[in-house]
A and B are shown apart, each in its own frame.
Chain A
Amino acid sequence: MPLQVFGVVRQGHPLPGSGRDRESVGVRLVESGDLAAAVGEIEEGSELREEDAARHLDILILLLRDGPVLPLAFGTLSPDEDAVRAEVLDPAAADLAQRLAAVDGYVETRLEIFFDEPTALREVMEADPDVRALAAETQGASSLDARIALGEAVSMQLTSWRQQQAEALLETLAPAVEDIVETESSEPLQQRWAFLVRADALERLDDTVGRLRSSLQNAAAVEYVGPLPVYSFLGQVQADTAPPRSNWEAPPTRSGSAWGW
């Protein structure tokens, strides 16, 4: 039966779940040398769906509790265990071990701040006479084109308003994290960050986010997620440790990705 490969861990890494749960999680380790791949069986010819993506992430999150995890791309399949050893673990064993060491002790968290729209709209409109004039012009009697144009102009103003707010918030957050990646959003009022955090300093970030949340109160909705595998910092980990080049590549940054995000 084909195997779905979730991630790479160290040999002897505890299986995800505890006690009796372990069997139901349906994950086992394929080990080779110092390394192991977390795999699960998958029906021949079956398609992966959104629920499988959620399961993929859940498994990696469970694994992360007990030590470093390198997430593999969702949908990585192998015909059997031998292929996992021969094609995933063995060819880049040194590189993988080095990467595991580099991410050891680090986790990723995500912070999403959705600023209150009525507040932002009012501030932007009061500050920008041009958009105000455009709004007055299209008031009540506009074509779809005109309304989209107005909305786009407003959207751009909201984006820069949000960026200003975010800059101020980042000053508070930055001292509590090792690194920051900003994640784009299609919503102008949505600010999203991924943070690289030392696992033992997570509490400090929690406190910071907690303070930030209470200072924002109703001015924004805050979603704070983690700890996740260091998805957003795989490239940087590589740069820091300068492992030997191999046939392993972190996913390239593609601005025109077919996924669109």
Chain B
Amino acid sequence: MTVATQSINRAPRPSSLADVLEVVLDKGIVIDAYVRVAVVGIELLTIDARIVIASVDTYLRFAEAVNRLDLQPDGQVSGLPGLMEEITEGGASSKTKGALSGAADKAKDAMSSLTGDEDEDEEEQPRRRPAKKTAAKRTSSSRSSSPRRRRQEG
């Protein structure tokens, strides 16, 4: 019985190519003598950019998800904020679709959903302008801090 569970439980290797790359790339014993390491046909910049874009995409996805949670304090969902919520609802739902596909964790998906977001922002700009000033003041400092990229593995 346990044996059957185990074989289902454990995969011989990572299911996605991205995870395979993570196991293999930049790992293993390096020979720094005369045997050379081939230039890999995987663009370093693409991989680097993938991390940054994925982080921003993740942040946007969380922001959307949190706003859908409907946890705001009592008495604030009225008047202008309430009205704004109604107006932007259409935009938010189409954005959510884009963000969800980004969650598939593929760089291309992340890239396109981010691009999608930007396009929508341009369209929605006139409607959003009234509230933009206060929001921007509060957060202008956080924009410059780049998404953290840490690495602990040896």
Contacts and interface: CB of A to CB of B under 8 A. Distances in A.
Contacts of A259: 25-26, 44, 47-48
Contacts of B142: 145, 148-149, 152
A17 to B, nearest CB: 14
- Counting chain B residues whose Cβ lies within 8 A of the other chain, the interface size class is 35 or more
Nearest to A250: B29
Contact of A74 (B17, B25, B64): B25
Contact of B37 (A75, A117, A234): A75
Given A47-B41, A75-B40, A259-B47, A247 B33 contact: yes
Contact of B143 (A57, A122, A145, A235): A145
A125 interface: yes
B72 A53 contact: no
B135 A138 contact: yes
A131 B67 CA distance: 11
B10 A132 contact: no
B105 A88 contact: no
Contact of A126 (B42, B71, B130, B151): B71
A228 B60 contact: no
A141 B128 contact: yes
Nearest to B14: A225
Contact of A135 (B15, B66, B92): B66
Interface stretch (A21-29, A161-169, A170-178, A203-211): A203-211
B67 to A, nearest CB: 6
A16 B11 CA distance: 18
A76 B81 contact: no
Interface string B97-110: 00000000100000
B55 A186 contact: yes
B10 A255 contact: no
B51 interface: yes
A102 interface: no
A207 B65 CA distance: 35
Contact of A151 (B24, B28, B61): B61
Contacts of B153: 181-184, 194, 232, 253
B12 interface: yes
A158 B59 CA distance: 11
A84 B48 CA distance: 32
Interface of A: 4-5, 7-8, 47-50, 53-54, 56-58, 61, 70-78, 83-84, 87-88, 91, 109-110, 112, 117-118, 121-122, 125-126, 131-133, 135-152, 154-155, 158, 181-184, 186-188, 194, 203, 206-207, 209-210, 213, 223-226, 228, 231-232, 234-236, 247-251, 253-255, 257-261
